[in-house]
Structures are given as C-alpha cells and as structure tokens.
Chain A
C-alpha cells in the first residue's frame, strides 16, 4: 500500500537549519511528484510547492523561495525539505503529499522554532 512516512518533530533555535524527510513506499516514486504543504498552529493549509521525482526539479510557491530547499534521494526513495535561517514564523506542521491529487499524505512533521 502507498505510504509516506516523515521524520520526527524538531525543536530549533532561530537562525538554525532543519531537514525534514519524507520516505515513499508502495508505488513507483518517479511516477508521481511530491508536494509540500505547511500548516501553521491553528491555521489552514498552505501550498509550498513540489518536486518532480523523475527529474529532481523543484518548484516553489511565492513565499517559499530562498530559505526553503526541496531535494530528493531516489536511492532511498526519500524527499527532503530543508529550511535555512529559521524564523519563529516557520513554526508549524509540514506535510508531504503525493502530487497532483494529494491523495496520500505523510503524518506531518512538527517544526518548532524558539529561543
């Protein structure tokens, strides 16, 4: 069965970096891109962008350029979201989901940025 399993919660200080992983199984990785979605505490869903799993080419939504990096390691069927120069407002749950229908989601990774 299709599964997306994400890495565990992270507590980071402002200015640090974090790398969230999303391991895919149960389907051919290159057949579906992977999307990233953020949910700030008590808020709705925010589209961050996606990574083409056949080419590794990322596409970022406005507001997620510069400090946010999508990457891929096909040898371990895993996508990554790295956030650099963390700010308090980056606090939230980050989800990966299978593109384009977002039919399967990871369980979410809570990233907390606090001094």
Chain B
C-alpha cells in the first residue's frame, strides 16, 4: 500500500500568518496519462471532510485563493498564505492513484 507521511502533525498559527503542510508519498502518484491523483481535505470540528485541492494544485469550488497546493511525483505541499479562524481543523492528504486509496495521518491546525 502507498504510505502518505504528513509533517508537521500539529501547528499553531497566528492569524494573518502563513502556514505550510507537507505530504510525502512512498511512491510516485503520477500516472501514464500525466495526471497525479493527489488531494487535500480539511475536516473542521464535527463536520465531514471537505475537498480543498484536487490533482495537486486545483482549488475546488468555493476554496479561497489564499489556499494553494503544489508538488509533483512524491512530494506535495499545501500552503495557506494568511491563516484565518475558519482554517482551523485537521488537514488530510489522500492518494487515489492506486488501490487501496490511502490518507495521510492528518495535520491539526489551530490558532494561537
């Protein structure tokens, strides 16, 4: 199975400051058609996860442009340019390149 490793596992951020989360895959997620099946989700307290970024760098509908995704192959990064109170929660990366699909362990983001 593909293993996704997230760092850090927890971060506390001052409002208005940037935050960055890394996710490393145990193997490349790039398929032969050039698509990379890698995603970022945010789970706010008491809610189901919500898709933020699909296929590495594409923002899902309604996601603010201060949230961005980048990376390739096995190394991926989620960046929040200016953290706001609504960004609090647990961020998960996920791969759907190979079955079984797998999630990272999650990164808890809270506000200082």
* Residues of B in contact with A, size category: 20 to 34
Range for the number of chain A residues in contact with chain B: 20 to 34
How long is the Cα–Cα vector from A107 to B60 in the complex, in angstroms? 19
Rounded to whole angstroms, the CA-CA distance of A45 and B51 in the bound complex is 13
Known contacts A45-B92, A107-B48; is-contact A61 B100 (Cβ 8 Å)? yes
Q: Are B54 and A47 neighbours in the complex by a CB distance under 8 Å?
A: no
Query: Smallest CB–CB gap between B27 and chain A, Å?
Result: 16
Residues of A66-113 whose CB lies within 8 A of B? 95, 97, 100-108
Residues of chain B lying within 8 A (CB to CB) of residue A102: 39, 41, 49, 51, 94, 96
Chain A: interface secondary structure? loop
* Besides A45-B94, A101-B51, 15 new A-B residue pairs in contact (Cβ under 8 A), listed by A number: A44-B103, A45-B41, A45-B106, A47-B100, A61-B99, A62-B100, A101-B55, A102-B41, A102-B51, A102-B94, A103-B51, A103-B54, A105-B50, A106-B48, A108-B48
Q: List 23 A-B contacts (CB under 8 A).
A: A44-B105, A44-B106, A45-B92, A47-B100, A47-B102, A47-B103, A49-B100, A61-B100, A62-B100, A95-B48, A97-B49, A101-B39, A101-B55, A101-B96, A102-B41, A102-B51, A102-B96, A103-B51, A103-B60, A105-B48, A105-B49, A105-B50, A108-B48
